[in-house]
């Protein structure tokens, strides 16, 4: 068994690619004999029941989404129950760290677009913010490759990393204090059916 200690593609995976460094491989497109593997009936020629049997309905899609949300919540509370075959594709929903990085990356790039006009600066900021996500994607792809080709390789996960940029929280302006007694006085003026001018006089004397 080979255990990887760094974020890189294992040598067993590289050996599957026959191309050597510095050697260009010629590329050609060839068309072999046509083989009919199946026919697809046009939707216009199907009945409503036949379309429902072939295509997923909106209710089915809603059920899939609900099941994915429930499974993600369950795995976040108990990660020991995570099974690779059943949870593949739900990594972003399960990992709150990935959701946090994605949110901060999007916010940082939008803020940078307001400040900088240079495409090189924007590209540098985007690359810096998404560096951890690229490492996670590389490790995930390596795991999929090893699983598809039955390679006995252990690829460690990428540890969480702090966001590379300092994102200051937005300042929240406190609401102005309201004199409750003044508001009550205005309401009493209105209830006594005074004129609109009299109500304004009451308000101006108390605020």
Judge contact between 148 and 171, C-beta under 8 A: no
**Within the chain, which residues score under 70 in pLDDT?**
1-24, 79-86, 169-207
Q: Quote the CA–CA distance of 14 and 8 in Å, as a whole number.
A: 10
Share of residues in the chain with pLDDT > 90 (%): 29
User: What does pTM read for this prediction?
Assistant: 0.56
Residue 80's CB is within 10 A of a number of other CB atoms, namely 5
Q: Over the stretch 12-22, which tens digit does the pLDDT of each residue have?
A: 554 444 455 56
Residue 203's region, left for phi above 0, alpha for psi from -120 to 50, else beta, is alpha
The per-residue pLDDT for range 120-142, each reduced to its tens digit, is 999 999 999 999 999 999 998 99
d(CA 189, CA 196): 9
Residues counted in the chain? 207
- Give the HSE-up count for residue 29: Cα atoms under 13 Å, Cβ half-sphere: 0
- Predicted local confidence at residue 171, as pLDDT: 60
Distances (CA, A) of 139 to 3, 19, 59, 76: 13, 22, 35, 20
Contact 179, 207 (CB under 8 A): yes
């Amino acid at each position: 068994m080979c255990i990887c200690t760094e974020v890189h593609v294992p040598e067993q995976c590289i050996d599957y690619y026959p191309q050597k460094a510095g050697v260009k491989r010629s590329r050609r497109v060839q068309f072999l004999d046509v083989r009919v593997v199946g026919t697809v009936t046009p939707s216009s020629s199907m009945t409503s029941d036949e379309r429902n049997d072939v295509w997923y309905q909106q209710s089915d899609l809603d059920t899939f989404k609900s099941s994915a949300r429930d499974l993600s919540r369950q795995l976040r509370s108990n990660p020991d129950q995570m099974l690779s075959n059943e949870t593949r594709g739900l990594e972003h929903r399960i990992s709150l760290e990935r959701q946090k990085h994605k949110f901060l990356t999007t916010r940082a790039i939008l803020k940078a677009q307001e400040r900088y006009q240079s495409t090189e600066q924007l590209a540098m900021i985007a690359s810096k913010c998404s560096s951890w996500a690229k490492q996670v994607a590389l490790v995930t792809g390596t795991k999929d490759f090893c699983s598809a080709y039955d390679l006995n390789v252990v690829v460690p996960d990428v540890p969480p990393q702090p966001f590379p940029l300092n994102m200051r929280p937005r300042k929240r302006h406190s609401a102005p204090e309201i004199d409750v007694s003044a508001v009550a006085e205005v309401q009493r003026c209105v209830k006594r059916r005074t004129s609109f001018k009299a109500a304004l006089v009451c308000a101006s004397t108390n605020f």
